Amino acid sequence: MNIKNKKFIILLLTLCLLSFVLIGCTNNETAPKTPLSKSNYMLGTYITISLYDSQNEKIIDEAFLRIRDIENKMSINAEEPSQITHLNEASGSNSVELSEDTFHVLERGLYYSKLTDGKFDITIGPIVKLWNIGTEYAAVPDDEVLKEKLKLVDYNKLSLNKGNLTAKLEMEGMMVDLGAIAKGYAADEVASILRKNGVKHAIINLGGNILVVGNNINGAPWKIGIQDPYNSRNEYLGIVEVVDKTVVTSGIYERYLEVDGKRYHHILDPATGYPADNGLAAVSIITDKSIDGDGLSTSTFLLGLEKGLELIENTEDTEAIFVTTDKKIYLTSGIRNTFILTNKEYTVMD
């Protein structure tokens, strides 16, 4: 069994993306300033924050403290039990009081669960724990065990009380997993801290969740590369230009498990308990809030090409890039004239 070295690959992705952005932002008149950048490993990924108009390390330190706070409240893998851990442990018994942070992310996750009729389901925790993809315990689960655990996946049995900031899982053994949405919230919170401190040009990278503050130091849009899901050297298939936007990608390349020559990626279908197999290799969402980019990238991947395109076309101020396993690219209407294809192995479809 060969398990992907997650930390190394994520770090490589981060460094490649940052170098790409720096190259893509230069022009003949004014080279961008060397950014103040710091990295850390949190929320199960390498995080890099780069400031282009400030050398104040205290701003980045404040941002990392905020991310750690979010991780301590919402992760099911934190060293100390989080609020979500307590919620899961209380499944089938009592309600659990949450912070405003955790309640908000839980509420937003439940919104996307309802929007997709459960294709995205934040109660997928029991299945995530069975697979353990991205950890040293990753394994293909037994079919019978998987079928039993699937009975515990049902977002309709998660109750939220906004007045009291409490939540309850109605069946014993249910588990919430905010892994598909908490990183986006963390990126938004970092952006808020940067803006509060006067930063106008920055890149926040949470392991593939990219959020840019303002435009680049030269006044032009940031140029962000869209990862080629089939290139192990982390090359890009195209470029998007963004200002004050987030670019969030979900794909088969992010985390996976290989057993007997077969690859199992980490985006699990709540209907089957197995990795989604619908012809998609990756989906990138371009929108205003990273929490929504996070929720929508996973939601549209699980919905599939046709329903995913329909959802984004009906979502305000949001665009998407769908990459299929046969190397075709489908773009939503608002990005068709601005997406730049750089890898000729792919075909942009009309």
According to the model, what pLDDT value does residue 26 have?
A: 33
Q: What are phi and psi of 145, to 5 degrees?
A: -65, -40
Bridge partners of 167? 96, 160
Note the pLDDT tens digit of each residue in 39-92: 999 998 899 999 999 999 999 999 999 999 999 999 988 778 999 999 999 999
Among 299, 227, 225, smallest CA distance to 267 is for 299
Query: In angstroms, rounded to a whole number, what is the distance separating the alpha carbons of residues 7 and 114?
Result: 33
Contact between 98 and 106 under an 8 Å Cβ cutoff? The reply is: yes
Which domains are delineated in the chain?
A: 2-56+200-348 (3.10.520.10)
Q: Are 253 and 226 in contact (CB under 8 A)?
A: no
How much is the pLDDT for 233?
56
What pLDDT, on a 0 to 100 scale, did the predictor assign at position 27?
35
List own/partner pairs for 150-155 with CB under 8 A and 24 or more apart. 150/126, 150/270, 150/272, 150/273, 152/123, 152/126, 153/121, 153/123, 153/124, 153/126, 153/127, 153/270, 154/118, 154/121, 154/123, 155/110, 155/113, 155/114, 155/118, 155/121, 155/122, 155/123
Q: Over pLDDT 90: what percentage of the chain?
A: 78
- State which residues of the chain have pLDDT below 50: 1-32
So what's the pLDDT on residue 138?
86
Structure tokens that stand for 120 in this block? 């995205």
